[in-house]
Amino acid sequence: IPSFLMFKKDADAVKAELRANHMVQIEMTWALPSPDDRVEYDLWTTPSDLVSRDFQKGFKDVATALGDRAYFTPHMYIYDGIKSHCQGADGENMCFNLCTNNGRYCATDPDNDLDHGISGADVVRESLRRICIWKHYGESDGVGKEWWDYVAEFLHRCDTPDYFANEDCVADAYKHASVDKDRVQRCMLDSGGLEKDAPNSFLDLEMAAQARRGVVVLPTAFVNTVALRGALTADMVFAAICAGYLDGTEPKICQQCSKCPNEIDCVKAGGKCSGGSGGGGGSVSAHTFFVTLFAICCAFGGVGFLHWRKTRDDMREQVRGILAEYMPLEDSGDGVMNGSPMDFARGGGSTGLIG
């Protein structure tokens, strides 16, 4: 059955009209965002998201290559604990270790074990940490090299139940990503922290943004407000970004790598495509092309000549055999045959048929 999804705020208005017994007509249209010479793209995920892990590990080179021609914003999905009734009437946390701030901000338990492993509160803490890293190391330029480095280091070193919430492991990830630990911790505390029954300004902003955007599926990337959902890959997002520019304003890296068979390898190589029709150094030179074409033509010509010779010789043998079989014997007049019937054939047809 054909169907499509609607944002809840739009669907609520439709349902209200239907309940009032009013006729409703809905038109579905496709509209492209107004592109320009800079693309804005967002990523909605959580620190425990397995689907976008490879994308987060491998997209830094693309973000860096795009530079100021694209602006990235990472978002962390946070559950509203108050709406989910995780905060009791007396302010008590009713959802055990899934929430912080006495049940205000929550996340699902990645391993579905409330007594062991990674808790929802651990995911919220790591979410706030990444938000603060972005605020200090990526928000100003929209690239965030250190943010990508930290995420990659955390996934490499700490993304296990034993080390996810380990402060020493996090500090090690800070160090390898060149992120100032004290700066990030101050940011986390200044935004409202995670311990008291008090709002956190950054987490409130994330929940408001996800409500406005209508995010319901994780992970989700938005490129010029167009949603990309499901198993995100670096190739997919790079292609979407390059398609989001106004015609003629694409950055050089898009022109060089967008048609390359392996776009990310092309980006990492500085725009050199290792094969295919991209604009990098993997293209075949004109000299090589024509030499190869000439060699192929010679090979086919030689095979054709040999086939022609064999066909000609076979035809001659067949003609000789026919002539030898049907040639009438000449009588010299004295009753003696003038030679064998095969003499004419053996002579290669050099003797005329008419004497």
Digit-coded pLDDT (tens) for 176-188 = 999 999 999 999 9
Which backbone phi and psi does 317 adopt, to 5 degrees? -65, -40
Position with higher pLDDT, 276 vs 20: 20
How far apart CA 191 and CA 125 sit, in angstroms, is: 12
What average pLDDT does this structure show over 195-220?
95
Burial 33-55 (b: 16+ CB within 10 A, else e): eeeeebbbbbbbbbbbbeebbeb
Each residue's pLDDT tens digit, 130-141? 999 999 999 999
Question: What pLDDT, on the 0 to 100 scale, is given for residue 281?
Answer: 44
Which backbone phi and psi does 79 adopt, to 5 degrees? -85, 135
Q: Which residue has the tokens 């208005």?
A: 13
How far apart CA 50 and CA 217 sit, in angstroms, is: 13
How far apart CA 251 and CA 237 sit, in angstroms, is: 15
Q: Which residue has the tokens 């002579």?
A: 347
99-100: strand order across its sheet: 79-80, 105-106, 99-100
What average pLDDT does this structure show over 169-177?
98
What average pLDDT does this structure show over 30-37?
66
Residue 190 identity (one-letter amino acid):
D
Instruction: Let me know: does 54 contact 228? Beta carbons within 8 Å.
Output: no
Three-class DSSP category at 5: coil
- Choice among 2-11, 198-207, 270-279, 284-293 with the minimum mean pLDDT: 270-279
Q: Which of 124, 129, 94 is nearest to 109 (CA)?
A: 124
Question: What pLDDT, on the 0 to 100 scale, is given for residue 344?
Answer: 44
| Beta-carbon contacts of residue 343 (< 8 Å; ≥ 6 apart) | 351
Decide if pLDDT at 353 tops 50.
no
Decide if pLDDT at 118 tops 90.
yes
Position with higher pLDDT, 168 vs 331: 168
Which backbone phi and psi does 293 adopt, to 5 degrees? -65, -40
Each residue's pLDDT tens digit, 251-310? 999 999 988 989 999 999 999 987 654 444 445 567 777 788 888 888 888 888 888 888
The separation between the first and the last C-alpha atoms of the chain, rounded to the nearest angstrom, is 91
Three-class DSSP category at 18: helix
Q: ∠252-254-259 over CA atoms, to 5°? A: 125
What average pLDDT does this structure show over 25-44?
79
Three-class DSSP category at 283: coil
Decide if pLDDT at 243 tops 50.
yes
For the chain, strand residue ranges (E) read 39-45, 70-76, 79-80, 99-100, 105-106, 220-223, 226-229
